[in-house]
Amino acid sequence: MTNRYLPPRFFSQVHRHLWLTFSESATRGPLFAVVGPPGEGKTWQLEESLRQCNTEALHIFAGDMESFDAARPTDHLVETLQRAAVARSGGVPTALVIHDIDTTLGEWEQNTGTVNHQQLLAELMSYADKASHLRYGGRATPVFVTANDLGKLYAPLRRSQRISVFQWLPTHEERTRVVEALLGSSSEGIAARIVDQFPEQSIAFFSEGIGRHREDLYMRRNLSATVTDMRQVIGMRWTHSIETGDATIDDWLATFEQLDIERKRAAVNYVNGGKAQ
């Protein structure tokens, strides 16, 4: 499995919120938002931080927030909070996680939400104010949400004392450490140059480029990659190497430059309604 680097600055924020909530020392509500640009590692880093804190994560997904039954999404939220409270009472620290909450519950142009969304927002506000109420299991559960633009959420939910906000944008050093870990043993002296060459790119961009290189290398080294019958492929046993071979800095720069061109071209086509340029 590919090595990953969890920035201590990110981990410390998650750890702090967990500790304050579980020790019943928090002076603010149990909701905690990790907010920042897309592709900067919010999802993985949150999940990994919870894992390192030995905390179980219960998830509410986008599809859980909509239903033909207007009461069902809110019931599901309450039931999940109750499950987490029961687990905590049994000695299992448990948190609730909602990723990309602004996409589902946010107010966007020509889309101001549904009755389900309004009820969910109201329930989250109620929980933020009365997290230890018997309705939610009698014990406060830390709730983590991720978002690109928290401003899309209903303003009363994101007011002070209801939700704590951590703005996440990795520094140059943190970004370099992440790329070093992704590169593995071949990273010495290379990661910083790659990051410097593409200063406006996200962590996801570097992860995709490194992953593409590994895929190409693995397929070239594996004779079975020429098999066209996928029934044979799914019946094989695979051992994946995380090494990136003998790639030089020039090899890496060429890989990322090609990916950069593809991404920019796709963005231009999107803006122009999919018309080829």
Q: Which CATH number fits domain 172-271: 3.40.50.150, 2.160.10.10, 1.10.8.1070, 1.10.10.10?
A: 1.10.8.1070
pTM over 0.85: yes
Q: Which of 144, 126, 137, 252 is nearest to 189 (CA)?
A: 252
pLDDT tens, position by position, 73-127: 999 999 999 999 999 999 999 999 999 999 888 887 666 668 888 899 999 999 9
Q: Which of 56, 25, 22, 17 is nearest to 140 (CA)?
A: 22
So what's the pLDDT on residue 267?
A: 66
More confident of the two residues 147 and 245 = 147
**What is d(CA 209, CA 236) in angstroms, rounded to the nearest whole number?**
26
Cβ-Cβ contacts under 8 Å for 109 (sequence gap 6 or more): none
More confident of the two residues 200 and 141 = 141
Number of helices (H), then strands (E), in the chain: 10, 5
pLDDT tens, position by position, 144-199: 999 999 999 989 999 999 999 999 999 999 999 999 998 886 666 788 999 999 98
How many CB atoms sit inside 10 A of residue 250's CB? 8
Enclosing H/E stretch for 13: helix 8-22
So what's the pLDDT on residue 268?
A: 60
Q: What is the CATH number of domain 8-167?
A: 3.40.50.300
Cβ-Cβ contacts under 8 Å for 16 (sequence gap 6 or more): none
Looking at this protein, which amino acid is placed at residue 29?
Answer: G
> Average pLDDT in the 2-7 region?
84
Model confidence at 70, in pLDDT bands (50, 70, 90)?
confident
Question: What are the extents of the domains in the chain?
Answer: 8-167, 172-271
So what's the pLDDT on residue 185?
A: 67
More confident of the two residues 264 and 193 = 193
So what's the pLDDT on residue 116?
A: 86
pLDDT tens, position by position, 7-46: 999 999 999 999 999 999 988 889 999 999 999 999 999 9
What is the β-pairing status of strands 143-147 and 31-35? parallel
Looking at this protein, which amino acid is placed at residue 30?
Answer: P
